[in-house]
Structure 1
């Protein structure tokens, strides 16, 4: 069995469904807990709470579709849920992916303004501004993702296939759309994020008056976002477009390029990694709300209860047998 066959038979039909199932279970619990914490500390968090709430909503749009995708790949790419639901499932994935990128970018910009321009800008920003920006993000993401719905997802000769891009007949047009989509939905937010945190890093290194805790929290958030983009988003966009380009070459030359096998395998792996954003996104909740400190307090509270209960148990006196 060569590498491509192994990825089709083992990774795509066994490992990928297992990843989807795990992400559904862990992501559901983590995001419920995260959103609950956001709502409990709504006033404390300030204007950034609106973006955290929308980040959670983006995750909940995608997580319910994972069991259906897991069943699809486990049944060796046999879609039994209908063509309309196939498009809805893929649309929800795109809303989650680009909505998450959009709101993570908003959080990064707000953090940047809070550190670099705390008096000039942050004092003028209200909750209304955050809500308006969130509405704009959803509109932009919807406009970017909606054309995907018009591309065929079900192959004419194989009605059980549910493409995450489109069928071979329309792959050339889809590649053009995908490249533009990648630039507007991923590259531009990535450049904004890099610009913000590049400047923040310079400010934190030059100014000694900034509180040490603020520096640490800013650097931690930067690390989390770099992790998200490096693991989930960058590989997916690179290998998705390369895979589409390989299919375009095959449709014109009737022959795949020599690098197709490597790209195919990398693209399969990136499809598993990209869905992990629904599990990694709650790390942003953990950072912003300093939940690790809350967990330590909770564990300490439970330990005190346990000790008090244990010490209150009467000690049995020794008895002669």
Structure 2
């Protein structure tokens, strides 16, 4: 038995033994599969969230609290999606982009985790107020746009504050094979023990359990209200609410349970074989969690009729612009030939 150190949670050996720490190596097939999955997440996440941002900026505008929240969710997901190829590259290759880029990489992941989840919780609260407390909130929602922007600003500042430990202790250092590794690293044993518990605990508490609890409470009340309502759109609204909650649970619950088990066993001696299996499971569930960033546009934006109409208008405008560009290029070429 020996203490295991891996690149997933910090290259720091807290064991007093003289044995060499074992390192986690991914199977080539597993690396290939993850590369394809992450590439699909990158493509669909980039397209979907870009369309949401473009729609809100040039077509729909942000007129309600939900609009403001969804716009900020799309921005947070875009930050993560753009950083995703570099995150995957860092996990599989030698990091050669410098210390500043290393810190920015970790910052992008953390800022998306905290801000994105808290904003989704705000969406559920706003829907609860609009549906369950509709009569009471009718007079106050006229000032909702200002309130929502203030709330979003507070969330972004709060998320940045939570990423401070990550920014401070993320460093570029030499790995076991003399390659450059971009990971959290510590000089003191006490600091390592504190941050090893603090960072994943914050990720689980603020990045999953708090938003999850808020969403369950709000959407449960919404479902009860919808079941009592006599509306032709009731069944569709219920399906959407059910899909939002189920997708959130499927994407994030497995990874957070695995992360919790990993955090609880950080300072215990365990075998390399056990750690190999555990980090394979963590890596697989983390990929599932990444999937949520490209599902958010579908669940929260594209289900609306007005949003789909704006999306069609974007496609028409892109098609007209491309035809005009091709026509102008063709005309210019003919003029030069003449």
Q: Could you say whether these structures have the same fold, taking a TM-score greater than 0.5 normalized by the shorter chain as the test?
A: yes
8 Å CA contact 1:12, 1:268 repeated in 2? no
Residue in 2 that maps onto 1:212: 232
Mapping of residues 279-318 of structure 1, within 5 Å: 279-283=294-298, 284-289=300-305, 291=307
Residue in 1 that maps onto 2:279: 264
- Is 1:8 the equivalent of 2:36? no
Partner of 1:80, secondary structure, is: coil
> CA 1:298–1:272 in structure 2 vs 1: closer, same or farther (change >3 Å)?
closer
Q: CA deviation at 1:298?
A: 10
Partner of 2:163, secondary structure, is: helix
Q: CA deviation at 1:9?
A: 2.5
In 1, the alpha carbon distance for the partners of 2:313 and 2:265 equals 54
The correspondence for 1:112, drawn from 128, 144, 166, is 128
> CA 1:30–1:181 in structure 2 vs 1: closer, same or farther (change >3 Å)?
closer
8 Å CA contact 2:114, 2:203 repeated in 1? no
Which runs of 5 or more residues in structure 2 are unaligned?
A: 1-21, 316-338
Partner of 1:249, secondary structure, is: coil
Output the aligned Cα RMSD. 3.1
In 2, the alpha carbon distance for the partners of 1:36 and 1:152 equals 33
> CA 1:55–1:262 in structure 2 vs 1: closer, same or farther (change >3 Å)?
same
Deviations 1:18-65 (A, max 9, x none): 33322222211111112222331226x523111111011101212222
Residue in 1 that maps onto 2:12: none
Residue in 2 that maps onto 1:52: 70
Between Structure 1 and Structure 2, how many residues are aligned? 285
Query: What's the TM-score, normalizing by structure 1?
Result: 0.77
In 1, the alpha carbon distance for the partners of 2:212 and 2:100 equals 32
Q: CA deviation at 1:122?
A: 4.3
> CA 1:215–1:129 in structure 2 vs 1: closer, same or farther (change >3 Å)?
farther
- Is 1:234 the equivalent of 2:253? yes
> CA 1:243–1:249 in structure 2 vs 1: closer, same or farther (change >3 Å)?
same
Partner of 1:79, secondary structure, is: coil
Residue in 1 that maps onto 2:98: 82
Q: Which of 1 and 2 has higher RCO (CA within 8 Å, sep 6+)?
A: 2
Mapping of residues 6-45 of structure 1, within 5 Å: 8-10=26-28, 13-39=31-57, 40-42=59-61
Residue in 2 that maps onto 1:198: 220
Partner of 1:248, secondary structure, is: coil
Deviations 1:111-156 (A, max 9, x none): 1111111121243032101101111111221122222212244345
8 Å CA contact 2:197, 2:263 repeated in 1? no
Query: What's the TM-score, normalizing by structure 2?
Result: 0.73
> CA 1:6–1:297 in structure 2 vs 1: closer, same or farther (change >3 Å)?
same
In 1, the alpha carbon distance for the partners of 2:273 and 2:147 equals 51
In 2, the alpha carbon distance for the partners of 1:271 and 1:11 equals 17
Deviations 1:224-280 (A, max 9, x none): 2430x2233222222223334444324xxxx43885344222101022122222211
Residue in 1 that maps onto 2:201: 179
Residue in 1 that maps onto 2:268: 249
> CA 1:143–1:215 in structure 2 vs 1: closer, same or farther (change >3 Å)?
farther
Partner of 1:212, secondary structure, is: coil
In 1, the alpha carbon distance for the partners of 2:23 and 2:217 equals 42
Q: CA deviation at 1:197?
A: 0.9
Which runs of 5 or more residues in structure 1 are unaligned?
A: 300-321
- Of 77-86 and 285-294, more deviation after overlay is shown by 285-294
Q: CA deviation at 1:199?
A: 1.3
